[in-house]
Structure 1
Amino acid sequence: MQEYVVYRRVSTQEQGRSGLGLEAQDRDIALFLERFNPEPFAVVATFTDVLSGTDNDRPELAEALGVCRKTGATLLVSKLDRLSRKVSTIATLMEDKRVNFRVAQMPNADKFQLHIYAALAEQEREFISARTKAALAEAKARGTRLGGLRDKTMRRNAAIQANAAARAEKVAGIVLPLRDAGKPLREIADHLNRAGVQTARGGQWQASQVKRVLDRLSRAPQ
């Protein structure tokens, strides 16, 4: 019987945010167990930390890993960033021969692929941060007064634009060569799905989404 130890993490600010709350994590985990796990299985324990993703002191995660090492159960998380936002932490866990872990939203990903995804996600966060700071600096240089509700809206819009640009550049290495080879949008979307690359909302790629990525990449400064 395959045994799992479920680990969930949420920050106080994230509890009410769509896709990051405990209920959403539970749904992802239940879907994985129902459709992607060979029967029979058992969840031997569930642990939950309520703290920031940048906080390295995670007592419940430590407990969960302890149970995994003692029983041989596999650690199961809904998303890779629920385990950690740091690629170094993911790499350390991968080197621990007494711990195996699975990610519900990437049910077919092996350890090597998860390491790559963690590295890409870390780069994406760094890029988004840099783009947001650059957008704010440009706005300030144009004489836009920072502060108040208008500035909050501007920062939010800048972050959204930076996020979208970062996601487009993240998949450019797959999308652009296929488009240059004359592949249709639908086939490019199929390539992304087979590679395990998810959309911003964690779903499957469609031709229309590929087109938006290509349009954004064509507008990006060279």
Structure 2
Amino acid sequence: MKKYVVYKRVSTAEQGRSGLGLEAQERDIQLFLEGFSDVPFEIVSSFVDVLSGGNNDRPELKKAIDLAKKEDAELLVAKLDRLSRKVSFIASLMDDPKLSIRVAQMPYADKFQLHIYAALAEQERDFISARTKAALAEAKRRGKQLGGLRDKTMKRNEVVKADAQRRAEKLRGAILPMKEAGMSLRAIADELNTLDIPTARNGKWTAMQVKRTLERLDTSNILRQTP
């Protein structure tokens, strides 16, 4: 019989008291159990932490991990970031030969795919943080908004271009290793689709889209190397 130890996490005491976030996690876990799990199955126990994902010293997570190992059960979470927002911590859990992890939202993902997803998520958070700081600094420097139709059009085009570059940078940690491993554009596209990583328009990847993303990354490297 398949065994699971369920772990859920919310970030604040308010969320913990109100159930915000916990309800969504419970829904995803239930969808996994009903549609993707081996049967029969048993929920050995469930644990909940009310702590930030940046804090890896979580008592309920430790209890869940210890019990999963003891019962030879899979540690089941709704989303990967419920375990941690740090790829290094997630990698350490995956390196534990006695621990098996299952993510409800990615029911067929293996350890390699989960690692890539964690790395991408961490890169995205870092990039968003840097972009927000840069935008605030620029707004402060200008002191006022630009006016005029032409300015608005240019600003819109800059946003589109920046978003495309942001998407490319977010995927750097996944696409470049696959390219360096000799995978074809089509094979890279297939792998991204398997990982359920959407394109900018929430569509499926094609070889041409992978090619354009790689071109943006190449341009980015040239800019970085320019003195």
Match of 1:109 in 2: 109
1:91 aligned onto 2:88: no
1:56 aligned onto 2:56: yes
Q: Residue 81 and residue 28 in structure 1: after superposition, are their counterparts in 2 closer, same or farther (change >3 A)?
A: same
Match of 2:65 in 1: 65
Q: Residue 163 and residue 28 in structure 1: after superposition, are their counterparts in 2 closer, same or farther (change >3 A)?
A: farther
Aligned-partner Cα distance in 2 for 1:105–1:199: 18
Normalised TM-score (structure 2): 0.68
Q: Aligned runs of 1:1-222 on 2, under 5 Å?
A: 1-12=1-12, 15=15, 21-144=21-144, 166-167=166-167, 169-171=169-171, 192-198=192-198, 205-206=202-203
Structure 1 residue identity aligned to 2:133:
K
Aligned-partner Cα distance in 1 for 2:167–2:8: 25
Preserved contact between residue 5 and residue 43 of structure 2 (Cα < 8 Å):
yes
> Alignment length, in residue pairs?
186
Q: What is the CA distance between 1:166 and its match in structure 2?
A: 3.5
Percent of aligned pairs with the same residue? 63
Q: Residue 26 and residue 198 in structure 1: after superposition, are their counterparts in 2 closer, same or farther (change >3 A)?
A: farther
Structure 1, gaps ≥5 residues long = 146-161, 178-182, 184-188
Q: Residue 126 and residue 21 in structure 1: after superposition, are their counterparts in 2 closer, same or farther (change >3 A)?
A: same
Q: Residue 137 and residue 13 in structure 1: after superposition, are their counterparts in 2 closer, same or farther (change >3 A)?
A: farther
CA offset digits 1:51-86 (Å, max 9, x no partner): 111112200000001101111110000000000111
Q: Residue 126 and residue 163 in structure 1: after superposition, are their counterparts in 2 closer, same or farther (change >3 A)?
A: farther
Preserved contact between residue 190 and residue 205 of structure 1 (Cα < 8 Å):
no
CA offset digits 1:136-189 (Å, max 9, x no partner): 1100110259xxxxxxxxxxxxxxxx8886446435887xx9xxxxx9xxxxx9
Structure 1 residue identity aligned to 2:112:
F
Aligned-partner Cα distance in 1 for 2:163–2:15: 21
- Partner secondary structure for residue 129 of structure 2: helix
Q: Residue 190 and residue 91 in structure 1: after superposition, are their counterparts in 2 closer, same or farther (change >3 A)?
A: closer
Structure 2 residue identity aligned to 1:107:
P
Q: Residue 43 and residue 122 in structure 1: after superposition, are their counterparts in 2 closer, same or farther (change >3 A)?
A: same
Structure 1 residue identity aligned to 2:83:
L
Aligned-partner Cα distance in 1 for 2:163–2:5: 33
Preserved contact between residue 5 and residue 74 of structure 2 (Cα < 8 Å):
yes
- Partner secondary structure for residue 8 of structure 1: strand
Preserved contact between residue 49 and residue 59 of structure 2 (Cα < 8 Å):
yes
Structure 2, gaps ≥5 residues long = 146-161, 180-185
Q: Residue 167 and residue 28 in structure 1: after superposition, are their counterparts in 2 closer, same or farther (change >3 A)?
A: farther
Preserved contact between residue 193 and residue 205 of structure 1 (Cα < 8 Å):
no
Runs of 4+, deviation exceeding 2 Å: 13-16, 162-174, 189-196, 204-207
Q: What is the CA distance between 1:12 and its match in structure 2?
A: 1.8
Preserved contact between residue 128 and residue 163 of structure 1 (Cα < 8 Å):
no
Which has the greater radius of gyration?
2
